[in-house]
Structure 1
């Protein structure tokens, strides 16, 4: 259900309460406005939203095993509806968003030529970009050497040791590999973030 429809329903609940001079069951709102497409719990949710906004908009009595059983209007109900009610609040909120989005879209973006000119006229950016590429290359090479070292130790140059010693050594190498991998991944992520900030 859209926020617009919910705002309209809340106002209609309040208007109905004003029309009644006595207390009425919350079930009446369900029967009057939302049966059979929605549930009584949905009516309770909308009434709760009204009360969360302003507890003085409706008088609520519990009973019959329900937290909200009987409802009635209050002096604040008429004033709130005279000021426009929930529909007016919804429209004003939408207008604020429209103005905000218009402001965002009116911000002029740089053309491709302007971006190229900025890149050409800034040699510091070129130097930093080159350093970043070198750093990423160094991290990659270090990672490859680590992998080669692990494979060499485990496969190419096996030591003849007891089984429990061998398992301990394998576990130690795995932990080293995980730690090294995490360190390299962290450095790579930092380098990528820095590179992204330069290219934007």
Structure 2
């Protein structure tokens, strides 16, 4: 059983005692709240935990071989439930203390709503820019490959029988075309690298 459920049950036991003006057996608590899923011994354990926290929360009578056989409310029962909020309030306070402790331990301050929105916006912008950059690099690489294929195709795969001077002129033309294309691709790659570096710095 979770600590939360145990705290809730202890408060219910105290509220039940407060609603009655007489002594009653703890068997009654078992019948009211925990039958048939738990045992009478578990009720006794919870009552003992209530008394271990503060003996004045319940007036106790022993008997029938038990230290706690009958119980009744006291003035402290009402004060504890109304003023202090009962065991549930103690549980919540304990959880809040742990949350605060863990937040301090992590050393990372919580972001405000505005900061979270800004961070989300910046992240989506950065992702979009990186996607565009990757697309540009892929386009440059594909363009380069097509140029190479085109050059090889024209020179090796589909040879034409032409005069020597025409062949030489054509080779010079292809060489110039290759050099120009190579320079263009280098410039595009350099620009892409510059954009990538600026994104990494951000």
TM-score of the superposition, structure 1-length normalised? 0.53
Q: Which runs of 5+ in 2 are unaligned?
A: 110-202
Alpha-carbon distance in 2 for matches of 1:94, 1:107: 19
Matched, 1:80 2:80: yes
- 1:181-200 alignment, distance < 5 Å: none
Equivalent residue for 2:16? 16
Alpha-carbon distance in 2 for matches of 1:35, 1:68: 19
Alpha-carbon distance in 2 for matches of 1:73, 1:29: 13
Alpha-carbon distance in 2 for matches of 1:67, 1:89: 26
Q: CA deviation at 1:66?
A: 1.8
Equivalent residue for 2:29? 29
Describe the superposition over 1:153-187 as per-residue Cα deviations: whole angstroms up to 9, x where unpaired: xxxxxxxxxxxxxxxxxxxxxxxxxxxxxxxxxxx
Over aligned residue pairs, what C-alpha RMSD do you find?
1.2
* Structure with larger Rg: 2
Equivalent residue for 2:98? 97
User: How many positions carry a matched residue from both structures?
Assistant: 108
Q: CA deviation at 1:21?
A: 0.6
- 1:43-122 alignment, distance < 5 Å: 43-82=43-82, 83-106=84-107
Alpha-carbon distance in 2 for matches of 1:94, 1:18: 27
Give the match's secondary structure for 1:21: coil
TM-score of the superposition, structure 2-length normalised? 0.52
